[in-house]
Amino acid sequence: MALTLNTNIIISLLMVLSIWASLAMSRTLYEASIAERHEQWMARHGRTYEDQAEKEKRFKIFKQNLEFIEKFNNAGNQTYKLSINQFADLTDDEFLASRTGYKPVPSQSRTATTSFGYENLTEVPTSLDWREKDAVTQVKDQGNCGCCWAFSAVAAMEGITQIKTGKLISLSEQQLLDCSTNGNNQGCNGGMMENAYNYIINNQGLTSETNYPYQATEGTCDTQQETAPAAQIQSYEKVPSNNEEALLQAVAKQPVSVAIDSSGFRYYNGGVFDGNCGTNLNHAVTIIGYGTADDGTKYWLIKNSWGQTWGENGYMRIKRDVEAVEGLCGLAKDASYPVA
């Protein structure tokens, strides 16, 4: 009897031990496989780290982000997908500080009101893609510099220039970065499209990307290129806030700059985005069209400045005509466009 009991205890102990060992083992294997994926990811995105401590810190962030993305995709019940893209080793704060950059001046000190030239437009096409009308240059990459505001303003200006003159010219974000320090514009530390338009109006134009190429860092204003404009605008107008109908009237006529809360779509990889996000405007993009997906979901077509591998070849579809008046992620709060 005593002997049987002892044997049972020993067998139980052994079982517990072996389960513990295999758990520890699979835990180690799991960590190793994530480490392997981190290495592959580093190679794919040309990422290097200063030292082992930095690498371990980045590995932890990568692992958390990877687990979040895989859990999301594996749930399989969403209208869009995420991917482990070039931002996977950044924390949310690092991401917002370095890859976005919309900094509005406080609304109480913003007095500019403009007329809305498209307010009486009644006929709009059921869908529209300004790329098909050759009014959109290829997707650019702001890199590690919070100047989305320059990319958004430039894309809208490239659009209206092509619509008015028939010429699609890639224009210079770097000129805005270096020279448009009016208002609260602070180069890579953020700014606003309206300030950029004001600068371009006062400067009587903006030069081309070729003449003044993008460096992803703020430099001194090249006054020679500054005074060699490739395109001009006369003024800009704001789309009435919190009104997706008005936004549609404007986009039907030209690409439109919008501010947006980007916190929900950093890993977006395709589909119609309808995820959770606030209305804390921290990023700027350009709406270049709209349409309706096969399942009937209406969407806006957005050009981003995070390179061509992000999203749908650099673009995003995001749900249109949502219940919230601000639009999804606040995209209808602060829209504007240049007038040429």
Ligand X SMILES: *[C@@H]1O[C@H](CO)[C@@H](O)[C@H](O)[C@H]1NC(C)=O
Residues that bind ligand X (CB under 6 A): 75, 77-78, 117, 119-120
Indicate the pairing of strand 268-273 with strand 315-319: parallel
Give the nearer residue to ligand X in terms of CB position, either 56 or 119. Answer: 119
Q: 3-state class of 251 per DSSP?
A: helix
Indicate the pairing of strand 315-319 with strand 256-260: unpaired
- For tokens 């709009």, the residue is 124
Give the nearer residue to ligand X in terms of CB position, either 60 or 71. Answer: 71
The DSSP bridge partners found for residue 272 are 317
Report whether 179 contacts 218 (CB < 8 A): no
Catalytic residue among 145, 147, 283, 329: 283
Report whether 148 contacts 284 (CB < 8 A): yes
Closest distance to ligand X from the beta carbon of 121 (Å): 9
Closest distance to ligand X from the beta carbon of 7 (Å): 45
Give the nearer residue to ligand X in terms of CB position, either 117 or 264. Answer: 117
- The one-letter amino acid code at 109 reads S
CA 69 – CA 67 distance, rounded (Å): 6
First to last CA, the chain: 97
Catalytic residue among 38, 145, 147, 148: 148
Closest distance to ligand X from the beta carbon of 15 (Å): 33
- For tokens 């606003």, the residue is 192
Closest CA to 286 of 163, 154, 194: 154
Give the nearer residue to ligand X in terms of CB position, either 117 or 183. Answer: 117
List C-alpha distances in Å: 202 to 167, 181, 257: 22, 13, 19
Give the pair of three-digit tokens for residue 305.
Answer: 């400045």
Closest distance to ligand X from the beta carbon of 79 (Å): 8
CA 62 – CA 66 distance, rounded (Å): 6
Q: Computed from CA positions of residues 153, 156, 160, 165, in that sequence, does the dihedral angle turn out positive or negative?
A: positive
Give the pair of three-digit tokens for residue 29.
Answer: 């294997």
Closest distance to ligand X from the beta carbon of 170 (Å): 31
Give the pair of three-digit tokens for residue 327.
Answer: 């639009």
Answer yes or no: 304 catalytic.
yes
Answer yes or no: 148 catalytic.
yes
Answer yes or no: 283 catalytic.
yes
Give the nearer residue to ligand X in terms of CB position, either 73 or 182. Answer: 73
Closest distance to ligand X from the beta carbon of 266 (Å): 18
CA 63 – CA 91 distance, rounded (Å): 11
Give the nearer residue to ligand X in terms of CB position, either 69 or 176. Answer: 69
- So which residues are the catalytic ones? 148, 283, 304
